[in-house]
Structure 1
Amino acid sequence: MNALSHEFDLSRTTMLPAVKRGAARDADTTKLASQWDAVHEAAAAIGVLAQLGRGDEDDAVKGLPDRALQLGGFEYEMVLRGVDDLAAVMQPGLRALLALSAQGQDTTSAALTLWQEFHKSRDAIIGFAPLN
């Protein structure tokens, strides 16, 4: 029987990214806070299109960027990546909804689906830096 082989040498790799220090980390934190605000603005617009209105934000939502920065390490990196991924999903979704709305089409069902996905994703991201 032949064993599977591969040409990858993983002996010098690290699985987790190194924690950034100084200016690079500050830039990431600024990016994190602005993206966090932006996805919530997009979610508010989606809530209107879903005929739900603008949702309330509790302390767990408002303080996430600061909590992630205080935690640092793996949790910070996961929050940073999660928010970046969430922004990447929200942008085309909102664009599509706005295009449909501009054509006079009912966006309620599609907007509700995207709104629900936003909240599930947001809750998962908050799970990396929960409010104690």
Structure 2
Amino acid sequence: MRWAALGEAGQVVAMLAGIEPERPSREVRNFSALIRDADQWRRDLADNGCIDLAAVMEPGISALLAINARGADCKPAALALWKEFVAARDAMLALLPPSGQLGPRRSA
């Protein structure tokens, strides 16, 4: 759920930056399911990455919305936050193991 919320937050930032919304890749769409079957260390890093990114995005979006509500141009700040979001998202996607090299399968 956190991954999906971060993706939606990224779309809000992109909109505020005046960037065309991205069409999510297969890895972005399926990240939660793909990382679930990865080694524990990859899952831990992904979880921590999501927590850290949320800690940046929440106040960042609040600030952007406040700037926008005052009628000021928030695009430069939104673009900076967008770049941070993309870098963090890409770092988490890099945690996905190469195809066929997933850790032990867990079942319900």
Please give the TM-score of this superposition, normalised by the length of structure 1.
Answer: 0.71
State the one-letter code of the partner of 1:126: L
> Which residue number corresponds to residue 75 of structure 2?
108
| Cα root mean square deviation, aligned | 1.1
Structure 2 alignment gaps of length 5 or more? 100-108
After the TM superposition, which residues 35-46 of structure 1 pair with which residues of structure 2 at under 5 Å, given as runs?
A: 35-46=2-13
Task: Work out the CA distance in 2 between the residues paired with 1:96 and 1:88.
Answer: 13
In terms of Rg, which structure is larger?
Answer: 1
TM-score scaled to structure 2, two decimals? 0.87
1:89 and 2:86 aligned: no
Structure 1, unaligned runs of 5 or more:
1-33
Provide the residue aligned with 1:117 in structure 2. Answer: 84
Corresponding residue for residue 57 of structure 1: 24
Counterpart CA distance in 2 for 1:114 and 1:105 is: 16
- Asked if residue 99 in structure 1 is aligned to residue 66 in structure 2, the reply is yes
Call closer, same or farther: CA 1:56–1:130 in 2, change over 3 Å. Answer: farther
**Paired residues for 1:1-12 under 5 Å:** none
Per the TM alignment, residue 72 of structure 1 is displaced from its structure 2 partner at its CA by: 3.4
- In the alignment, the residues of structure 1 paired with residue 98 and residue 22 of structure 2 have an alpha-carbon distance, to the nearest angstrom, of 19
Q: Could you tell me how far 1:56 is from its partner in structure 2?
A: 1.2
What is the DSSP-based 3-state SS (H/G/I as helix, E as strand, rest coil) of the residue aligned with 2:37? helix
Q: Which aligned segments of 4 or more residues in structure 1 are displaced greater than 6 angstroms? A: none
What is the count of residue pairs matched by the alignment? Answer: 99
